[in-house]
Amino acid sequence: MIIKNAALIDGTITDITIENGIISAIGKTGTNDARTIDAAGLTAIPGLVDMHIHMRYPGQTHKEDVMSASRAAAAGGVTSVLAMPNTTPAADSIDTIKDILSRPQCGINIYQAAAVSKGLSGAELTDMEDLAKYAAAFSDDGRPVRTAAMMARAMKTAQKLNRPVLSHAEELTLADGGIMFEGEISRKLGVRGIPAAAEAVAVARDVTIARCTGAPVHICHVSTRQSLDIIREAKADSVPVTCETAPHYFAFNHEKLLSRDARFRMNPPLASEQDRLAVIGAIKDGTIDAIVTDHAPHSAQEKSDFEKAPNGVVGLETSFAASYTHLVKTGVITLSRLIGLMSFNPARLLNIRPTPIKEGSRADIALVDLNEQWKVEPDRFFSKGRSTPFAGEILTSKVKYTICAGRIIFADKRQSEY
């Protein structure tokens, strides 16, 4: 395959030749009988790595399955994903993980996180050494690891296995059944709120374990200023802590819930405008290491009631465009920094090989029109989930092709209407 006339991140226009799934040449003429993609007007970026998604297989396939999740990823320029273990049954055994990894999918790279505790119950640690043969990370995501003692054991064991532990930082006794951020909006709506301390206290616990033991921890979906302050201070002290956030946390605040629309319900919840700005600041200053989606599909029926709906929104098909629109187009960060946050850094955190666009690299590439504006229409998603906070939004930048290991796994047939 030859990709002709593509712009690289630095603006250079060149050709990219792919042979046997590897980039064999950049700027040189390849074989004449190769398949050709004319990428004039498009920018070639490394395939994105989303280190936090929920595929819902096994046991919850009315929400999503491995094929629909992989197709949604490909449509968003994502070539590698890490799936969380809160399935039914939980991904706490080799048999379950092997089953997940063997399911039909469109051709992306799927990695699986194994549970820290059996059944995600927090009562007993899984056989992490055995699971590490197939799992790329460990987490009880969906719930926090219940006790500090279990978290400390998990972090120290994972360090020996060269696997990251991903912390769902939430103090459940403070969250106490809340359904949105605790503040003026929750009081106005008359619904139970979740205080910022619910995240910050849990972040402080796991960061303190990392500080005292030297074992690394990765904090999932950070959403508040208090949590980011804890992480920033720890990093300044060389504590081995990393963290991620998601596009909805830098695009929206809790005022969106005035509409009583469950597509703005996720966990942790959308917080205040001060917190939204703090997330943007932490992206800008490097406190945040990765941008993920926390793609968490639910059925339309489940999301139909604002107060009873489960938490979770979809994001695989909008993550790059939303991030580009809110961070690059606004001048917060450069395109190169965005690629670091969405591709290189997540690969490093998962100890998987990054895929820069250079000779000898695996050909995981997204071709993107950085100038195309498009309206987010959930009914056109490949995901079974339709609940996105970006529904109806006009975003800038559109993935036109996604290539994984030299194979086209997505091609956008839709023309811009805006």
Catalytic residues: 294
**Which residues 6+ apart lie within 8 Å of 346 measured at CB?**
49, 50, 51, 80, 82, 244, 290, 292
The Cα 274–Cα 156 span in angstroms is: 35
Nearest alpha-carbon partner for 45 in 107, 3, 83: 3
Q: How far is CA 267 from CA 3, 13, 116, in A?
A: 40, 42, 20
Find the helix or strand (DSSP H, E) in which 407 lies.
Answer: strand 407-411
394-404/407-411 β-pairing: antiparallel
Cα 392 versus chain centre, distance = 21
Q: Is 111 helix (H, G, I), strand (E, B) or coil?
A: strand
Q: How far is CA 313 from CA 13, 49, 89, 99, 295, in A?
A: 37, 18, 21, 25, 6
List the beta bridge partners of residue 111.
Answer: 82
Own/partner long-range contacts of 158-163 (Cβ < 8 Å, ≥24 apart): 158/128, 158/215, 158/216, 159/214, 159/215, 159/216, 161/128, 161/129, 161/132, 162/351, 163/128, 163/132, 163/135, 163/136, 163/137, 163/138, 163/351
Nearest alpha-carbon partner for 217 in 252, 244, 253, 249: 244
Give the DSSP per-residue string, 350-393.
TT-----SSTTSB--EEEEEEEEEEE--GGG-SSS----TTTT-
Cα 337 versus chain centre, distance = 16
The Cα 125–Cα 132 span in angstroms is: 13
Q: Which amino acid is at 293?
A: T
